[in-house]
Amino acid sequence: MGNGVREGPVEFQRDVEPITARIPAEDNQEKKKVLNSLMSGALAGAVAKTAVAPLDRTKIMFQVSSKRFSAKEAYRLIYHTYLNEGFWSLWRGNSATMVRVIPYAAIQFCAHEEYKQILGNYYGFQGKALTPFPRFIAGSLAGTTAAMVTYPLDMVRARMAVTPKEMYSSIVHVFIRISREEGLKTLYRGFTPTILGVIPYAGLSFFTYETLKKVHAEHSGKAQPSPPERLLFGACAGLIGQSASYPLDVVRRRMQTAGVLGHTYSSILLTMQDIVREEGLVRGLYKGLSMNWVKGPIAVGISFTTFDLTQILLRKLQHGPGLD
């Protein structure tokens, strides 16, 4: 009997040891994957937004004013800003953009990878490309998740972009003044049109990019597209995504900056009505879209390409140069 008691635990421990040894390894792999996605997404967002910051600031300034947009007027605004405030003023508000876009892009890209995996498991596509509808849903959920977490930073960035530098000395100062003078609720003004705009924007952007990569792989026989091809696919994704959601982007900017520009916008529909009544449908709700057709594809193309290439680099560093 004594021998039986001693032998039981030995056999039990031998049986479970391989299982317990595998669990930490799987956990570590999952943690590395999430960390890689966060790092790659953060870098992608920072590089892309910095590259187009002067165009982005100019677009916002037209969106929040009743001034008619044209390429000539945009160039004139950029030139006068450079003459009057200096070269680096073209990047005014970019520090706030970085504070927002680094966590936003990190969360969005990481969430997209996780949603793809969850939807792949749910629909039975483990290890395979998702079908069109789940592909769109994964992108929309990723964008919504990131927007919900980082929205107040987007509000601050918009305020800094359209106000003189004397008004707000820093990002913290914007938060303090808005909270004190307009109330904490102001930090979420324009939140609803943001979420409504993010759903088609992020959904179509990720959907288009992933679809073009899939079609490329099927027709070229290559597992991975080249960096120039990635840039092209990302540019197409940005063009489609931003064009679909642009009117809500204009509404969002008007609501965000209403407090400093002397307007009062209480709802999405009323804001749209005011814009259409004062400036017209196309000239109002699509103001600056032609600039977005330049800025958007560049930014999204750089963003997707940077994310993919950083992911590949990090995997190779962790697993060795033999990984494709």
Query: Mind listing the pLDDT tens digit for each residue in 68-125?
Result: 777 777 778 888 878 887 887 788 777 777 888 899 999 999 999 999 999 988 877 7
Domain boundaries, the chain: 92-188, 189-301
| CATH H-level, domain 189-301: superfamily | Mitochondrial carrier domain (1.50.40.10)
pLDDT of residue 1: 47
What is the CB neighbour count within 10 angstroms for residue 128? 9
Torsion of CA 275, 147, 187, 47, to 10 degrees: -90
Taken in order 206, 209, 213, 216, the sign of the CA dihedral is: positive
Measured CA distances, 91 to 54, 86, 174 (Å): 6, 10, 17
Query: Mean pLDDT in the chain?
Result: 83
- Provide Rg for the chain, Cα atoms: 24
Stated pTM of the model: 0.75
* Side-chain half-sphere exposure of 82, counting CA atoms within 13 A: 10
pLDDT of residue 47: 94
Q: Tokens representing 121?
A: 């498991």
For residue 40, give the nearest of 92, 107, 95 by alpha carbon. Answer: 107
Mean pLDDT, rounded, for 117-135: 83
At 41, give phi and psi (nearest 5°).
-65, -40
For helices 289-319 and 2-51, the axis angle rounded to 10 degrees is: 150
pLDDT at 18 over 70: no
282 pLDDT tier (thresholds 50, 70, 90) = confident
Distance from C-alpha of 199 to C-alpha of 37, rounded to nearest angstrom: 21
Say which residue the tokens 């609720």 belong to: 185
For residue 230, give the nearest of 242, 216, 247, 248 by alpha carbon. Answer: 216
How far is Cα of residue 255 from the mean position of the Cα atoms in its chain?
A: 20
Please give the span between the terminal C-alpha atoms of the chain, in angstroms, as a whole number. Answer: 57
For helices 71-85 and 289-319, the axis angle rounded to 10 degrees is: 70
Residue count of the chain: 324
